Amino acid sequence: MPLHSLYYSLLLCGLIMSLAFSLIEAAVATPTRGCSEVERDALLSFKANVKDPSHRLASWSPQIDCCKWSGVVCKTTNNASLFGGQHVVELNLQNPNVDTESFFIDPQTFLASLRGEILSPSFQTALQGEMLSPSLLNLTRLERLNLSWNDFGGTPIPKFIGSFLNLKYLELYGSNFAGVIPSQLGNLSSLYHLGLGSRWYVGAIAPRLDWLSGLSSLRHLDLSSVNLSTVSQNWLSEVNMVPSLQELYLYGCDLNHIPSSFNSHLNLTSLKILNLEANLFSSSLPNWLWRLTSLSSLTIDASGLIPAGISNLTRLIQLHISGNISSPLPVEIWSLNHLMQLDLSSNNMLTGPIPTEIANLSSLQLLFLSDCSLNGQMPSEIGNLRSLISLDLSFNSLSGPIPIEIGNLTSLISLDISFNSLSDPIPTEIGNLTSLINLNLSFNSLSGLIPTEIGNLSSLVRLHLTGNSLSGPIPTEIGKLSKLQSLTLQENSLVSVLSESHLANLTNLKTLTLRENSQITISFDYDWVPSFQLETIDLASCIVGPRFPQWLRSQKSMFALSLSNTSINDILPHWLWNSSSSTFWTIDLSNNKLRGPIPSKIPRQMHINFMSPNYLILSNNHINGSIPSFICKWKELRILDLSYNSLSGEIPKCWQEANTNLDFIHLGNNKLTGEIPSSIGNLIGLTSLHLDNNDLSGQLPMSLKNCTKLHVIDLRGNNFIGSIPTWIGQSLQHLTVLKLRSNMFSGIIPSNLGELSNLQILDLANNNLRGSIPYSFGNFSAIRSTSRAMNHSISIGGADLDLYIGYGESDSLSIVTKGFEYVFSSILYLVKLIDLSNNSLTGEFPMTFGSLVGLQTLNLSRNFLRGRIPYTIGKMKSLETLDLSFNNLSGVIPQDLSRLTALNHLNLSYNNLSGNIPSGYQLQTLQDASIYKGNAQLCGVLINKSCSTDVGNNVTKEELQKSKSQIFLSIYFGTSLGYVIGLCHLCGGHCSNEVPRDASRISFSKLLKFPQEIVVFFLSP
C-alpha cells in the first residue's frame, strides 16, 4: 500500500474514533429520561382510585420522575435506544408494617412477638380501594407486583392481570380480594411467585385450578384461605401439573379430602415447603407424602398414627402435625436430627409420657407439645436440647417436679408448662435461663418459695405463676427485672408486704395481678408516684385499705381495675372517673366499705377522657345517692352491678336508644323507688335483670317483652302490682329463672308460663295470686329432665377476663328452700325449683307435676289447695324439699312418697290428711313429728297415735288403679246407655225437624266429646 494511502486510512480511523468518543461523552453527559408519560399517568390513575390514610404515596407527584416515587422501580430495558427512557418493572406497595415472607413461619419473628415487637398487621397504613385501575395495563414491562396487606374491599382480582406477560412476581396476600380467581392468571408463563392467600379476610374462591398448568415456571404458590371446596377431590392432580413448585401454602382452604395414594407421576418431588393446615381432613397421613424427600417444612392436619415412612424426610427442618394424631409416636421421628421446629400440639389423643429419645433432636429450637394428653414426668433428657429457644408443654397432665436439668437450656427464650399437675418447689436452676422473655408456670401444684434466683432473668418480659400453692414472701429480687411488663401471682398462698422496693425499677410494667392472696398487704407511701403506667391492676382479696390507694391517681393507661374485697373503708374518689386517658374496660370495687355518691355528671373534659367501660361493679358497699343518668350513654357497657348499696331515687329513664351490649343489670338490695322505666325495653341484648329488694312499685312495663334474650328476671321484694303478664310466656322463651316473690301481684297465674321450656326456677311466693295451679306446669322441659346441664346456658358479659368469671355462665341468686334462704352462685345451673307458697291458690295438686322428675324443691304451702296428694308424686325422684303445709289437702298420704330417695325436707302440717303415716325407705330418715302436725285424723308411731283397726294401710298405686278400673267400667256402661238414649232422641228430633240444625249439631258434638279429665284420670298409670 502506498504511504499516502496508509496515511489517509489512519486519518479516517482517527476521525471515526474521535466521533465515537464524542458521541459516548455526549451520551454520558446527557441525563437519561425518566419513566414515560404513559406509565406516569397509569400510576397516577391508580393513586386516584385508592385511599391513602397514612400518605404512603405522597411522593407520587406529576412534578417528580415516577421512577423516584415510593414503591416504584424502573430500569432501562434491553431494546431501549441509547437515548431512550426507562420503564417501570416493579411496583411494591406492600403494607410496610408486616413482612409476608416471615410473619407466620420465621422463628425470629415469633420470638420478636414475645418481646412485644411484632403486632398484628396495622391496617391504618393500608391502601384502601374498591378496584384496581385498568390503567395499570400501560405498565407493559412490569415484572413484579406486590400489593399485599392492603384493603381492596372484597373486590375480585381483575382479569387484566393475566395480560402482564412479563410478570414474574405477583403478591396479593391479605389484601381483601374476593370473588372468583380469574383463570387468565394461567397466561403468566414467566411467573415464579404467586401469592393470593389471606389469614385476616375471607379469601377468594377458586372453582377450578386447571389454569395452574400454564404456570410452568412457578416455584411459590400461596392460596391460603381461598375456598377450594369445589375442587376438593382433585386439587392434588391440578397442583401436580406445576413441575417446578417448591413452596405450596393451602392453609384453611376448606379441603375435606386428601388422597391416600397418588398413582400418577409425582411432579412435586422438588417441594420444600408444604402447608395444608386448618383444612377438614379426617384421614390418616397419605403415603405419597413420604416421596417428597426434598421437604424441609411440613404442616398438616391429620388423624391416626404417624407412619414410619416419615423417616424418608431426612431434610425436614420444620414439622407441624395437628388434629387427632394418636400414640405411639414412631421411633423414626426421633431420628430426624435436622429438625429445628417440632409442633405436635392440639393432638388430644397423643397420650403417654414424653419419650426420652427426644434428646436425639439436638438441633431443635422450637418444641410445641401443648394441649395433648401427655402424662408422667418431664424427662431429665429434655435438658440435652441446648439449642431450644421455645418450649411449650402447657395443657397436659404432666406431674412430678420440674427437672433441674431445665437449667441447661440457656438459649431458652420462652418456657410455658402451665396447666399441668407439676409439684414441688420451682428449681433454683431456673435462674440460669438468663435469656428468658416469657416464663409461665401457672395452674400447677408448685409449692414452696418463689426462688430469689428469678432475679437473674434480666430479659424477662412476662412472669406468670398464677394458680399454684406458692408460699412465703414475694422476693425483692423481682425488682431487678427492669424489662418486666406482666407480673401475675394470683391464687397462691403468698404472705408478703408488697412495698415500693419491689416495683420501683419496673418502669415497663403494664400488668400487675395478685388477686386471691389474702395475706399480701400493699404498703406504698401515700404520695408515691410509680415509674410505670399500668394497664391491668387486679389486687382483689389482698389487703389494700383502709384508704383508697392514691398512687392509682397517676395511672393514666388503666384498662382494668379490680380492688374487690381489699378492706377499703373510704369515700369513693371522684378523681377515679378521670383516671384513665384510654378506654376503661373494667372497674370492680365490690365488697368494700366505700361510701359517698357516684358523681351525678362527668365534666365534659372528664367525659372525653373516660370512655365507656364494659364492666362497672360497685356492689356490696355503702354508696348512696342516685344512679347517675350518664350511665345510659355508655354504649359499650355490658355489666352494671350496683347491688347491695344504699342507692335511692328512681332507675334512670334515659335508655332511649337500642343497646345490644348491656347484658347484665343488678340493682338489687338498694332503696330505689318508682316504677321500672319503659325505656329499659330498649336494652334488647339484656340477659339478666335483678331489681330485687328495693321499694319499686307499679306494673311491669310491656316494653320488657322486647328483651327477648332475657334468661334471668329477679324482681322479688318490691311492691309491684297487677297480674303477671301473659307476654312473659309468649316472648321470653329463653327464661331460665323467674323470681317475682314478695310483691303484690294478683289474679291468676298465666297458663302459658308452662311454655317456657328452659325455665328451671319459678318463684311466685308471697303474692296475692288466686285460682288453680296450671296443669301446663308439667310441661317445663328443663325440669322434666334430670340433667344438670342447662338446656340454654346463660352467658353474661362473655367472661372475657379472669377477673370477672363470676359473671359468666354462673349467675347469683338467693333461693328459699328447706325453710332457709341460700345464695347460689357458681352452681345456679344445678338448681330446679318451684315455689308458689303464701298465695290464695285453690284447686287440686296437679297430677301433671309427676312428670317433673328433675324438680328438687316444691313449695305449695300456705294456700287453699284441696283434694288428695296424687300418687304420681312418687315419680319426682329428684325431689329434695316438699312443703305442702297450711292447705286443705285431704285423704291418705300416698305410700309412693317413701320412694323419693333424695327427700330430706318434708312438711305436710296443718292439712286434713288422714290414715296411717307411711313408713319405709326415705321416710324412715324423717323422724320429726312436727311435719305432720295439725292433721287430726293422722295416726302412726311417729306421732304417738295408734291407728284403729278399721283404718287400713295407705292406698297403693296398684289398689288405686284396680279401684279406678271398677269405677271406670260402671261409668262406661252407664254412659253408653245414656249415649244410646240421647242419640235416639236427637236423631228422632232431627228427622222430624223439631230441633234446629245448629242446636242439633252442637248437642251432638257435646255428647260425643268424652270428658278429657275423666280419660286422663282413668287411663293414667
* Residue 312 bridge partners (DSSP): none
Q: Per residue in 556-577, pLDDT tens?
A: 888 899 999 999 999 999 888 7
Distances in whole angstroms, Cα of residue 100 to Cα of each of 53, 218, 279, 1004: 21, 18, 21, 83
Q: Per residue in 700-731, pLDDT tens?
A: 999 999 999 999 999 999 999 999 999 999 99
Task: Give me the mean pLDDT over the 642-651 stretch.
Answer: 96
Cell numbers that stand for 253 in this block: 382452604
* Residue 824 bridge partners (DSSP): 813
d(CA 953, CA 931): 20
How would DSSP label each residue in 587-640? EE--SS--EEEPPS---HHHHHHSPPPSEEE--SSEEEEPPPGGGGG-TT--EE
* Residue 842 bridge partners (DSSP): 772
Give 199 or 861, the one with higher predicted confidence.
Answer: 861
Contact 664, 737 (CB under 8 A): no
d(CA 375, CA 354): 8
d(CA 291, CA 285): 12
H-helix or E-strand spanning residue 989: helix 957-991
- pTM confidence score: 0.80
* Residue 858 bridge partners (DSSP): 834, 882
SS (H, E, C) 284-315: ECCHHHHHCCCCCEEEEEEEECCCHHHHHCCC
Contact 446, 419 (CB under 8 A): no
Q: Per residue in 43-69, pLDDT tens?
A: 999 999 999 999 999 999 999 999 999
The pairing of strands 671-674 and 646-650 is parallel
d(CA 930, CA 942): 10
Cell numbers that stand for 887 in this block: 292447705
Q: Per residue in 337-360, pLDDT tens?
A: 999 999 999 998 888 999 999 999
Return the beta strands (E) in 880-961 as ranges: 881-883, 888-892, 905-907, 912-916, 937-939
3-state secondary structure of 259: coil
Task: Give me the mean pLDDT over the 110-129 stretch.
Answer: 62
pLDDT at residue 389 tops 60: yes
Q: Per residue in 958-970, pLDDT tens?
A: 444 544 443 344 3
pLDDT at residue 156 tops 70: yes
pLDDT value at residue 919 = 83
Task: Give me the mean pLDDT over the 911-926 stretch.
Answer: 87
Among residues 308, 391, 399, 301, which one has the least CA distance to residue 347?
301
How sure is the predictor about 98, in pLDDT bands with cuts at 50, 70 and 90?
Answer: low
pLDDT value at residue 661 = 87
* Residue 75 bridge partners (DSSP): 87
Any alpha helices (H) in 748-829, and if so which ranges? 781-784
Give 965 or 180, the one with higher predicted confidence.
Answer: 180
Among residues 329, 432, 339, which one has the least CA distance to residue 387?
339
Q: Per residue in 852-867, pLDDT tens?
A: 999 999 999 999 999 9
The pairing of strands 888-892 and 866-867 is parallel
pLDDT at residue 453 tops 80: yes
pLDDT value at residue 633 = 82
pLDDT at residue 126 tops 60: yes
Read off the amino acid at residue 766: N
pLDDT at residue 21 tops 60: no
Contacts with 193 (C-beta within 8 Å, 6 or more apart), sequence order: 168, 169, 170, 171, 218, 219, 220
pLDDT value at residue 809 = 34
pLDDT value at residue 302 = 80
3-state secondary structure of 144: strand
pLDDT at residue 165 tops 70: yes
d(CA 343, CA 294): 20
pLDDT at residue 655 tops 50: yes
Q: Per residue in 786-799, pLDDT tens?
A: 876 544 343 333 33
Read off the amino acid at residue 410: T
Cell numbers that stand for 356 in this block: 426420652
pLDDT at residue 1 tops 60: no
Among residues 511, 452, 465, 503, which one has the least CA distance to residue 482?
503
How sure is the predictor about 603, in pLDDT bands with cuts at 50, 70 and 90?
Answer: low
Distances in whole angstroms, Cα of residue 555 to Cα of each of 520, 529, 558, 612: 21, 9, 6, 17
Task: Give me the mean pLDDT over the 524-550 stretch.
Answer: 93
Q: What is the CA 604 to chain-centroid distance, rounded?
A: 35
pLDDT value at residue 948 = 79
Task: Give me the mean pLDDT over the 959-986 stretch.
Answer: 42
pLDDT at residue 972 tops 80: no
Cell numbers that stand for 72 in this block: 416504584
Mean model confidence pLDDT for the chain = 84
| From 643-652, 857-866, 973-982, the region with the lowest mean pLDDT | 973-982
* Residue 171 bridge partners (DSSP): 146, 195
3-state secondary structure of 194: strand
| From 11-20, 730-739, 759-768, the region with the lowest mean pLDDT | 11-20
Contact 47, 57 (CB under 8 A): yes
pLDDT at residue 145 tops 80: yes
Task: Give me the mean pLDDT over the 115-138 stretch.
Answer: 75
% of the chain beyond a pLDDT of 90: 64
pLDDT value at residue 118 = 44
pLDDT value at residue 117 = 47
Contact 976, 950 (CB under 8 A): no
Question: Taking the CB of residue 577, how many other CB atoms lie within 10 A of it?
Answer: 20
Any alpha helices (H) in 538-603, and if so which ranges? none
Give 1009 or 613, the one with higher predicted confidence.
Answer: 613
- What are the phi and psi torsion angles at 37 (to 5°)? -65, -35
pLDDT value at residue 13 = 56
pLDDT value at residue 78 = 62
